[in-house]
Amino acid sequence: MNNKTPKSMSVAWSRYWSTANPKSSGCLPEAPKAVEDRIQEIWSSFLSTLPQNARLLDIGTGGGAVLKAALTSRPDLQLTGIDYAATLPDLGKQVTMIPKTKLEQLPFRDESFEVITSQFALEYATLPEALAEIKRVLVPTGSFLFLCHHAEGIIKEHNVSRQTAIKDLLAGSGLLNSAIKIVQGKKNHNPKKLKLLAKLLQALQLKHPDQAIINEVAEMTANMTQETGGLRKLLSLRQDIEMEGRRISALAAAALDHGQVEDIVRQVASPEREVAFELIAVPETSTPLAWKISTVFS
């Protein structure tokens, strides 16, 4: 995320990573196992090439997916994760986690790391400044691997589709706000009001048949309207959904096209290392999944 990133986005990501499923990627919560396996395969292959006891910095670490992979396959590595979010998971004593850190202002001395990684994070930054920082803190012969969102990839497509459903859920007269108004008016046992919610849900299901979030929110809403403290829970749920919408907007804006990836390659290349990129496709398809940008040593 860049220097102009509003405070609301920091709050959105902090809230997400403090409550997210530990196995969540944050970007594709319903990813097929083949996609998850492909991403793990990329990291396993890269981690196996690293020198013993190398210092590794994972930028925009989020839930620590890359660091978790490293802990499993390369426990000898010295691991550090940084993220713009204020709250990050505790991955144990072997990992140093530093929250509230911008990619454009890394709090490390020159040449502090032999390895830098990023999974769906680098592209959110102001790239010239972030890439300059990466080159500064990486030793000249160091290596890196960045997985970045593809502008025409399945992750962006999935999330934009989900965002459309979110906008309908948050509409002024939509399911969620209607439920809040019913509870505020203490009419949560009124048959007519409950019938209204059922109609709103049915309309959303017809409009977004492939979006699981509709049924997820409907189930939570139905429970919350009947629970003690239901209004507080509904307001919190609405805030969570609003923040997810903001995260998706940021993702859509950050996803990289071919020309932007070429620019990154030019900026991080040096006489000591060649940099290459490739399109990673969804397994057994030609559908873009991500860009892979990495060092190549002769």
SS3 annotation, 90-112: CCCCCEEEECCCCCCCCCCCCCC
Average pLDDT over every residue of 1-18: 49
Contact predicate 73/44, CB 8 Å: yes
- Give the start-to-end residue ranges of the domains of the chain: 7-153+255-296, 156-251
Q: Name the nearest CA neighbour of 279 among 172, 152, 99.
A: 152
Residues in contact with 130: Cβ distance below 8 Å, sequence separation at least 6, in sequence order? 59, 103, 104, 122
Task: For the chain, report the end-to-end CA distance as a whole number of angstroms.
Answer: 33
pLDDT in tens, 212-270: 999 999 999 999 999 999 999 999 999 999 999 999 999 999 999 999 999 999 999 98
For Cα atoms 239, 245, 247, give the angle at the middle one, nearest 5 degrees.
105
Burial (CB < 10 A; 0-12, 13-18, 19+), residue 36, is middle
Q: 176-180, 186-190, 233-237, 291-295: which has the minimum mean pLDDT?
A: 186-190
> H or E element: which one contains 222?
helix 212-224
Rounded to whole angstroms, how far apart are CA atoms 187 and 47? 57
Q: What is the pTM of this model?
A: 0.86
Residue 16: which pLDDT band, with cuts at 50, 70 and 90?
low
Q: Which are the contacts of 267, defined by CB distance < 8 A and separation ≥ 6?
A: 127, 128, 131, 132
The pLDDT-based confidence of 102 (bands split at 50, 70, 90) is very high
Domain 7-153+255-296: which CATH number of 1.20.1250.20, 3.40.50.150, 3.40.50.300, 3.40.50.1820: 3.40.50.150
- The Cβ-side half-sphere exposure at 13, using a 13 Å CA radius, reads 30
Q: Contact, 79 vs 93, CB < 8 A?
A: no
The DSSP bridge partners found for residue 147 are: 119, 292
Separation between Cα atoms, residue 237 and residue 217, nearest integer Å: 8
| Cα→Cα distances 101→11, 59, 130, Å | 13, 9, 12
> Residue 6: its pLDDT value, please?
47
Q: Is the pLDDT of residue 180 over 50?
A: yes
